[in-house]
């Protein structure tokens, strides 16, 4: 016969167990305690849990591993350690999130934190959902020695394995120093918060001691400098709320993983809409600048242009747009800055964006107005050959639908690199203002006919005639169309309708790259 406890005793035991669970749960939500939370708020920063609540859909967060404790030998062992991780939704779509808790030992990265973050990353990668990291940490936990460094290694390995499988987004909401900058550096997009977040390998004190240079923290690793100078930051947010809004907007253009198409939305924008102002956008004088953003905002769905890396290498433009409701990647030269020339930074910016779009099934449109690669000793010694080759590699490797529109200059190596026909671009259009040649007519005539012009009785008249002849024979869009390098010459105002039609045709494009482990991009 089995003894059974009285019902009242069972109920009492259950109540006690439930109360114990609630006490444990409350401990995990205290973080570093009220005083530490107040200090965090005094700095204008939210706590880890507050950030998750603001980022995710209300009530959607499901925490993972809340009871994992930090492991300092002498304690105290704080439940949850310096991270809050779990699963949730943004605009109804599933995401995984990891938020560092600065109120617990400065958010320092520990073995326990690594265990938690890596677990949720594994869940994200295995389930095919985007991973979002909310970073706010002083760096590695010195008290743990090599165990903290091993934790970083585990995280970096997962960042690498997830690359090209799920979108990875890093929000910088506080300091990020030393080895900890490499996890954000391995992710697809970095969003920095102005005045609050900083990223650097070595701090001002170390720089001062080693080099004698006196630099402040903002100049060394602030959001504006990383957005405009180093290119580490893709977006600069005014505050944390702006960072969350930027994240939500970015995700709206992206698929959840590399097996999905990007999410299409309904649009009231007429697919055949024609903007007559495009027909007079490009100045007749090839040396006169214009803003390529005007073409982008006119051609694609209204108010859909979401620029990436806007402050970095402004002679190139990259970003997301929608075309008849479908997310599309746009790449363009910017004649309004350095005549749209390709330099080292522009090459890196374009190549990285093209490869991201290709990894996540986002079609590409390229607008070309480029006189070539930037000349000069600084560019040559800085490796413009190697960096320029990245664009060639990225476009040649990309198998998503690719369409190119030549608006004006497409000279030499820049013509080839910027999604030309024979790096397997599916369709190349040219506007009537297009000039496609090895170089501009003026430069070509100066080289080819130098002796003839020197012997001419009327060198200026002869030169003008030679320029006109050269342009007609080699530089006009009709010459390129006659040889098949351009598929059609179109009115600028027809561009939207042409793009809508061709991408509708190409949406089921199949590509079969050669079997290999991976290529060797010229890094």
Express each pLDDT in 460-510 by its tens digit.
Answer: 877 787 777 776 776 789 988 998 999 999 999 999 999 999 999 999 999
**Average pLDDT for 264-282:** 96
Mean of all residue pLDDT scores within the chain:
91
How sure is the predictor about 33, in pLDDT bands with cuts at 50, 70 and 90?
A: confident
- Burial of 122-155, coded b for 16+ CB within 10 Å and e otherwise, reads ebbbeeebbbbbbbbbbbbbeebeeebeebbeeb
> In the chain, what percentage of residues exceed pLDDT 70?
91
CB-count exposure of residue 382 (10 Å: 0-12, 13-18, 19+): middle
What is the pLDDT, as a whole number, of residue 20? 67
How sure is the predictor about 297, in pLDDT bands with cuts at 50, 70 and 90?
A: very high
Instruction: Judge whether 151 counts as a catalytic residue.
Output: no
Instruction: Judge whether 179 counts as a catalytic residue.
Output: yes
CA atoms within 13 Å, Cβ hemisphere of 47: 17
Q: Is the dihedral of CA 395, 364, 505, 275 positive or negative?
A: negative
**Average pLDDT for 436-454:** 73
What is the pLDDT, as a whole number, of residue 5? 57
Range of lowest pLDDT (76-80, 298-302, 511-515): 76-80
Taking only the tens place, the pLDDT of each residue in 64-110 is: 999 888 776 676 678 889 999 999 999 999 999 999 999 998 898 99
**Average pLDDT for 335-341:** 96
Structure tokens at 212: 């004698």
**CB-based contact 489:429 (threshold 8 Å):** yes
What is the pLDDT, as a whole number, of residue 188? 98
Please check the confidence at residue 174 and state whether its pLDDT lies above 70.
Answer: yes
Q: Out of 179, 231, 325, 443, pick the active-site residue.
A: 179
Instruction: Judge whether 440 counts as a catalytic residue.
Output: no
CB-count exposure of residue 118 (10 Å: 0-12, 13-18, 19+): middle
Q: Out of 128, 413, 462, 479, pick the active-site residue.
A: 413
DSSP state of 69: B
Question: How far is it, in rounded angstroms, from Cα 426 to Cα 413?
Answer: 19
Instruction: Judge whether 413 counts as a catalytic residue.
Output: yes
Cα separations in angstroms, 442 against 2, 407, 411, 513: 102, 19, 12, 41
What is the pLDDT, as a whole number, of residue 387? 97
Q: Out of 414, 434, 437, 481, pick the active-site residue.
A: 414
Q: Which of 412, 311, 300 is nearest to 365 (CA)?
A: 300
Please check the confidence at residue 434 and state whether its pLDDT lies above 80.
Answer: yes
Q: Out of 178, 185, 382, 412, pick the active-site residue.
A: 178
Indicate the pairing of strand 326-333 with strand 93-100.
unpaired
How sure is the predictor about 26, in pLDDT bands with cuts at 50, 70 and 90?
A: low
Cα separations in angstroms, 446 against 434, 443, 470: 21, 5, 11
């Amino acid at each position: 016969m089995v003894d059974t406890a009285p019902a009242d005793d069972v109920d009492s035991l259950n109540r006690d167990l439930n109360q114990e669970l609630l006490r444990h749960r409350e401990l995990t939500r205290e973080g570093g305690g009220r005083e530490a939370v107040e200090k965090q708020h005094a700095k204008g920063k939210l706590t880890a849990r507050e950030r998750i609540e603001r980022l995710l859909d209300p009530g959607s967060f499901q925490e993972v591993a809340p009871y994992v404790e930090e492991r300092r030998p002498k304690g105290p062992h704080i439940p949850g350690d310096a991270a809050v991780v779990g699963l949730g939704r943004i605009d109804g779509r599933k995401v995984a999130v990891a938020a560092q808790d600065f109120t617990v030992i400065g958010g320092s990265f520990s073995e326990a934190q690594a265990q938690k973050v890596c677990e949720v990353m594994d869940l994200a990668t295995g389930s095919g959902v985007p991973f979002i990291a909310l970073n706010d940490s002083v760096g590695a936990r010195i008290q743990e020695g090599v165990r903290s460094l091993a934790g970083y290694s585990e995280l970096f390995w997962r960042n690498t394995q997830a690359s090209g499988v799920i979108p990875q987004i890093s929000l910088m909401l506080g300091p990020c120093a030393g080895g900890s900058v490499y996890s954000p550096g391995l992710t697809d997009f970095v969003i920095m918060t102005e005045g609050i977040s900083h990223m650097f390998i070595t701090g001002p004190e170390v720089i001062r001691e080693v080099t004698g240079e006196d630099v402040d923290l903002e100049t060394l690793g602030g959001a504006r400098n990383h957005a405009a100078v180093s290119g580490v930051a893709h977006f600069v947010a005014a505050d944390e709320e702006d960072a969350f809004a930027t994240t939500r907007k970015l995700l709206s253009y992206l698929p959840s993983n590399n097996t999905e198409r990007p999410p299409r939305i309904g649009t009231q924008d007429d697919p055949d809409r024609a903007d007559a102002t495009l027909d007079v956008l490009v100045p007749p004088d090839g040396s006169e600048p214009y803003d390529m953003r005007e073409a982008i905002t006119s051609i694609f769905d209204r108010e859909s242009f979401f620029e990436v890396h806007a402050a970095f290498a402004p002679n190139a433009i990259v970003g997301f747009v929608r075309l008849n409701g479908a997310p599309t990647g746009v790449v363009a030269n910017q004649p309004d800055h350095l005549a749209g020339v390709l330099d080292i930074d522009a090459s890196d910016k374009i190549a990285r964006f093209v490869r991201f779009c290709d990894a996540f099934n986002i079609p590409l449109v390229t607008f070309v107005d480029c006189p070539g690669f930037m000349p000069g000793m600084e560019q040559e010694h800085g490796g413009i050959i190697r960096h320029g080759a990245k664009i060639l590699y990225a476009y040649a490797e990309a198998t998503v639908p690719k369409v190119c529109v030549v608006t004006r200059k497409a000279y030499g190596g820049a013509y080839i690199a910027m999604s030309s026909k024979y790096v397997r671009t599916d369709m190349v259009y040219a506007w009537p203002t297009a000039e496609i040649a090895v170089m501009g007519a003026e430069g070509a005539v100066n080289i080819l006919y130098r002796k003839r012009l020197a012997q001419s009785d009327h060198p200026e008249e002869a030169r003008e005639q030679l320029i006109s002849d050269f342009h007609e024979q080699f530089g006009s869009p009709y010459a390129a169309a006659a040889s098949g390098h351009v598929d059609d010459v179109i009115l600028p105002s027809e561009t939207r309708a042409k793009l809508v039609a061709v991408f509708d045709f190409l949406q089921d494009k199949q590509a079969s790259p050669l079997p290999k482990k991976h290529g060797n991009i010229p890094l």
